[in-house]
């Protein structure tokens, strides 16, 4: 058990270092999110109530699209460089490598988005409590979205054009996360309790983190054998 924990920590640190060296995709995804959230208010009438009403769905659509962009080729370089083959012959569970890779991707993607939330609060005239709930909903729900993106990316490993395949696999699966994520933000704006929404988001993320690495590992085995 301790060997697996040490392997996860080492692999997580390695993947974070790789992202730091090859940060273009992460930067592109974050810029995509920022552009949606900054430019959208500029295209709308100067109506604060209208902007606040549209914020919950807009935030989660922007997050989904940015994570889809950052994870489109998540396993492709490992597949091309033979790293997945090394995972297969290492004797360790492939799910550990997968979990470390996806969680590192989540970490380097979500941190810049969270830093942007104070600016988001200014653009959409959010109160402090509302901005905090936006951040908490993203922290609780985005792991589920990114692991679903990783599953879709695993199916597309080895293919040249994966965007359509990822969209077909991913979009129906992310609907519950989008509903409860936007519901949490809408609830705090209406003065309603948000604990239930956040608990459901956290539960979906825990299930995704706990089970999807095994599914992704199985897909990776099939893709490599084929």
4-53 per-position pLDDT tens digit: 788 888 888 888 888 777 777 777 878 888 888 888 888 877 777 888 88
Task: Rank 107-111, 163-167, 193-197 by mean pLDDT and report only the highest.
Answer: 193-197
Structure tokens at 133: 């709930």
The H or E element spanning position 132 is: helix 128-155
63-112 per-position pLDDT tens digit: 998 888 878 777 777 777 777 788 887 778 888 889 999 999 899 888 88
Structure letter (DSSP) for residue 159: -
pLDDT of residue 160 exceeding 60: no
Cβ-based neighbours of 158, under 8 Å, separated by 6 or more: 76, 79, 223, 226
In this prediction, residues 113-127 reach a mean pLDDT of 86
Distance, in Å, from the CA atom of 120 to the CA atom of 122, rounded to the nearest integer, reads 5
Tokens 């999110």 label which residue?
33
CA atoms within 13 A on the CB side of 175: 6
pLDDT of residue 176: 93
* Whether the Cβ atoms of residue 77 and residue 153 lie closer than 8 Å to each other: no
125-144 per-position pLDDT tens digit: 888 899 999 999 999 999 99
Tokens 């390695």 label which residue?
14
Answering whether pTM is above 0.85, one says: yes
Distance, in Å, from the CA atom of 102 to the CA atom of 216, rounded to the nearest integer, reads 10
């Amino acid at each position: 058990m301790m060997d697996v924990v040490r392997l996860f920590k080492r692999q997580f640190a390695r993947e974070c270092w790789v992202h730091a060296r090859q940060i273009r995709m992460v930067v592109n995804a974050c810029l995509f999110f920022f552009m949606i959230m900054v430019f959208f208010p500029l295209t709308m009438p100067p109506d604060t109530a209208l902007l606040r009403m549209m914020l919950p769905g807009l935030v989660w659509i922007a997050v989904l699209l940015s994570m889809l962009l950052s994870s489109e080729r998540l396993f492709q370089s490992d597949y091309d460089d033979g790293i997945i083959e090394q995972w297969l012959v290492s004797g360790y569970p492939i799910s550990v490598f997968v979990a470390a890779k996806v969680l590192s991707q989540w970490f380097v993607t979500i941190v810049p988005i969270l830093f942007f939330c104070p600016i988001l609060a200014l653009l959409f005239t959010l109160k402090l409590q509302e901005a905090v709930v936006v951040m908490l909903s993203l922290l609780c729900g985005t792991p589920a979205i990114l692991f679903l993106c990783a599953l879709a990316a695993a199916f597309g490993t080895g293919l040249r054009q994966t965007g359509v395949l990822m969209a077909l696999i991913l979009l129906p699966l992310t609907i519950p996360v989008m509903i409860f994520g936007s519901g949490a933000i809408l609830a705090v704006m209406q003065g309603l309790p948000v604990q239930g929404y956040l608990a459901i988001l956290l539960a979906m993320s825990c299930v995704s983190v706990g089970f999807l690495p095994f599914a992704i590992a199985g897909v990776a085995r099939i893709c490599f054998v084929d």
